[in-house]
Structure 1
Amino acid sequence: MILKKWSNTTVVFANNGQEALDAFATQTIDVVLMDLQMPVMDGYEATIAIRNGVAGLYNANVPIIAVTADVMESTKNRAFEIGMNDYLTKPIKKETLFEAISKSLQLTYVKDLSA
């Protein structure tokens, strides 16, 4: 609901990791907010698949932000180990979400300029 209020923003929802991967085939995705606990394919599996190019090699480096209620340090470490760029715990404040997305998009833009 927070994202729907932002101007010039299109939100694509996926109910599970497989739907997230499928969305890359028909949508341009600039950043992924990835829940870790989902049916069919969880956020860990989906992130690994994206990083391995399953969603297309062009998308392999898309910024992925974990969004979870899990505050365990081991979970956070695992998220970074598999290639997530940031880690947010629920409940999320709109300011925190905006900062995380902005930071992820700026890093992507700077990376593209240096390529």
Structure 2
Amino acid sequence: MMPERAEIDIVVGRTVNRLRRERGMTVTRLAERAGVSAGMISRIENGQVSPSLGTLDAIAEAMSVPVMALLARRSGKADVYHLKAGGGIPSRRITPNHAHEYLLLGKHSG
């Protein structure tokens, strides 16, 4: 069962708000850096809109975080991983009905 759209919007909004505050940014400053209106940032943070991937990417870039950091739920595990070339990327379930973890491996060409 996939999370409801409203739940996803709330998670994204709370994450944007938390990351913005951690960086000491105002709504206005984040909006300027991301190229969107302050009202849009406010609506995103309050879970009132479903931002496009392009908007999320602009917000993530404005805060110097990967776009996936905006989609991650807070948990005891890291949601963003930094790996050296040739390493694997741990991938965990994204919905309550999936109970598997995977290790995504990439080919190292070097």
Larger Rg: 2
Using the size of structure 2 for normalisation, the TM-score is: 0.25
Structure showing the higher strand proportion among its residues: 1
Using the size of structure 1 for normalisation, the TM-score is: 0.24
